[in-house]
Amino acid sequence: MDLRYTNRRDHQLNGQRLFLGLMTGTSLDGIDAALVDFSSTPPRLIAAQGTPLSDDLRGQLLALQSPQPNELHLAQLAANAHSDACADAIHALLAQAGYAACDIEAIGNHGQTIRHRPECGYTLQIGNHARLAEKTGISVVGDFRSRDVAAGGQGAPLVPAFHQALFASPEQRRALVNIGGIANISLLIPHQATCGFDTGPGNVLMDLWVSQHQGLRYDKDGAWAATGHVLPDLLAQFLQVPYFALKAPKSTGRDLFHQDWLNTQLANRNDAPADVQATLCALSARSIADTLRDQQIDTLYVCGGGAHNQRLMRMLALELPQTKTTTTEALGVAPDWMETYAFAWLAKCCIDRKPANLPEVTGAEGQRILGAIWPA
């Protein structure tokens, strides 16, 4: 008999409501896992850790970002491998924190986005949730975005609802920006409806360029970008992309900002690679800052991998001299774990049958309960 499925503890009686959040983002740099206790106000982040993706799995997931032969079969194999890696990450985190599977109500598993086409009525995050439930003995909540898309929304970003619930201030005009592969922003302004959307590329284009020219997964601290010079004409060209002029609600991903897009933008140019990297960094900073210039934001809190890019953080501060720019560490959540924390919260909302989207953010016809449940 598998003891994972017997004598499950009563989560309500022992005073804790524990949920796990799992996230692999557009940057494909690893699996982030967070363990959160929602029995207190504010909730308590108990433990978190990141696990690098193997080169093989990362290669499989990257290949699926573009159409290819036999991709249905390859996507299912990648989903299985992704779920196995997630299960390993969960076991490691629980061992680190001193908890067992029977202590956890559910896992919020974002899955890996391989297509995001809300204009066509779908978004696809692969991950074998049934396999993950089987391997961990914990109920899994997944497929968070599809219900919002079915209701006419973008299905993204989903984190503004979480940011509003935990970090809105009655006095301060705040903005939170998650800079992963794609950057998304939440505007938390007193007495106004929360606004949020994808601003455009975060790290994705910088990662592609540094991989092509330096053989690295990412530009650590923005050190390579710091050796180059921003090319004003190239930056202006990048900013002519129609996406940046669209009004919210809007969302984007690798379906738009990918290697072929970058190659097309750079065709017939002969710029120094470091200058291109500096300009890509400036594009991320400018496209974020442009959404904030008229908002009189007191503090901009940055999370995601971009919070570690010192060059990008300096550019943001220069773009927004009247706004204090810092990381979400100031809110009590390390930048690496904010989005993973959000998916633990989204799992709890689903289990509690509470809506977790913001129609004013995604454009959905109304509030919806997000996610589907695979019971342990």
User: Which residues make up each annotated binding site?
Assistant: 25-32
> Residue 159, class by beta-carbon neighbours within 10 Å (0-12 exposed, 13-18 middle, 19+ buried)?
buried
Q: Which residues pair with 106 in a beta bridge?
A: 19
d(Cα 6, Cα 242) in Å, to the nearest integer?
Answer: 55
Could you list the residues known to form a binding site for ATP, using ranges.
25-32
Residue 43: phi, psi to the nearest 5?
A: -60, 160
Question: Any residues with CB less than 8 A from the CB of 139 and at least 6 apart, and which?
Answer: 105, 106, 107, 133, 351, 373, 374, 375, 376
What is the C-alpha to C-alpha distance for residues 205 and 234, in angstroms, rounded to an integer?
Answer: 14
What is the distance between the alpha carbons of residues 307 and 329, in angstroms, rounded to a whole number?
10
Give the sign of the dihedral formed by CA 238, CA 243, CA 248, CA 251.
negative
3 state SS of 265: helix
Which run of H or E residues covers position 66?
Answer: none
- DSSP per position, 182-213: EEEEEEE-TTS--EEEEEEESSHHHHHHHHHH
**Burial bucket for residue 80 (CB in 10 Å: 0-12, 13-18, 19+):** middle
